[in-house]
Amino acid sequence: MSVTIRDVAQASGVHVSTVSRTFSAPHLVNAETRTRVLAVAEQLGYRPNRAARSLTTGRTNNIGLIVADLANPFFPPLIKAAQAAARRQDYHLFVADTDENPAEEEDLVLAFSKQVDGIVLCSPRLSNKALEKLAKRVPFVLVNRRIRGLTTVVMDVAQGARAAMEHLAGLGHRRVALVSGPSGSWTSGEIRKAVLETPDLETVVIGPNSPTEEGGLAVAAQVAEAGVTGVLAYNDLVAIGLIEGLGALGVGVPGDISVIGFDDSITGRLYRPKLTTVAMPAGDAGRMAVDLLVQSMSAATVLETHLVVRESTAPPKGVP
């Protein structure tokens, strides 16, 4: 067990609050007591409690990062870059995973809010309204959700979706499917809009779907029967699940149906056939989100004061 403030108080013969003050406001403790407490603390190996200090200084030097699913290969490069950015600025990064569950997301924001100085919330599944409410409790930066008034880093997925559609059209495809993502996903909505606005391509939307291999596998038969020759999938995992499912139905990729993923994940790069995919600047997003968060937290605005000399001040008596 680690040494507590109570151990130090008992061994020093003072009250717990005196030990606390010795570390948080030493000028309020008389010199003799302070010296004794510090000596005892040193002897016992007492480490002033970060949580306790955070009550005084309002700082933990920790940043929380919340993702929808750690097992999705999209997230590790984002997390690693966020972590490196946090370390450069002397913060620790703690990561939590919502399992794509909005209620869990809210719960984790609240749990983090007292243990960290700020949160990077990636690909949130909560509603804009819920996020606006949470933003009043704790500083956070959103990744891949755009809400007026909140700091946000988004990747231009619409541009990527358009490029994917143009690639399919350029190959001669005329009727294609979008295998979309989960319903709470801003990214999926943006991709959908861009796909439906593509000229010269007939488009069917299949979804919402779980953003996993299982999600792709589950719609393989539907895709095979949709009369399409091309597919844009919500992400690489969905694309891979779909390709596996199509293979089981005897539908070849790209021989019979072309499939494009999203994310350019390591999983997609190692898969065979090597996936055509939309690369996402996930590392940049992680780094920039942390930088913006740290800037917003340390942006303590200092306003100048100035002295107004009127009539209540004068030289002391006797001074000419």
> Would you tell me which residues interact with its own copies (CB under 8 A)?
1-2, 4-5, 47, 49-52, 54-55, 58, 60-62, 64, 70-71, 73, 76-77, 79-80, 83, 87, 92-97, 99, 104, 107-108, 110-115, 136-139, 240, 266-267, 270-272
**Which residue's CB is nearer to its own copies, number 96 or number 169?**
96
CB of 13 vs its own copies, minimal distance in Å: 21
CB of 270 vs its own copies, minimal distance in Å: 5
- Would you call 1 exposed, middle or buried from its count of C-beta atoms within 10 A (0-12, 13-18, 19+)? exposed
Length of the chain: 320
How far apart are the C-alpha atoms of 183 and 103, rounded to whole Å? 15
Q: C-alpha dihedral over 105, 111, 116, 119, to 10 degrees?
A: 10
**Which residue's CB is nearer to its own copies, number 84 or number 204?**
84
**Which residue's CB is nearer to its own copies, number 29 or number 176?**
29
Q: C-alpha dihedral over 102, 104, 106, 112, to 10 degrees?
A: -140
**Which residue's CB is nearer to its own copies, number 96 or number 226?**
96
CB of 70 vs its own copies, minimal distance in Å: 5
Comparing C-alpha atoms, which of 289, 262, 292 is closest to residue 143? 289
How far apart are the C-alpha atoms of 58 and 138, rounded to whole Å? 12
3-state SS string for 142-195: EECCCCCCCCEECCCHHHHHHHHHHHHHHCCCCEEEEECCCCCCHHHHHHHHHH
How far apart are the C-alpha atoms of 7 and 162, rounded to whole Å? 64
CB of 222 vs its own copies, minimal distance in Å: 22
Rg (CA), the chain: 28
**Which residue's CB is nearer to its own copies, number 113 or number 276?**
113
**Which residue's CB is nearer to its own copies, number 73 or number 230?**
73
How far apart are the C-alpha atoms of 18 and 64, rounded to whole Å? 32
CB of 72 vs its own copies, minimal distance in Å: 9
CB of 31 vs its own copies, minimal distance in Å: 25
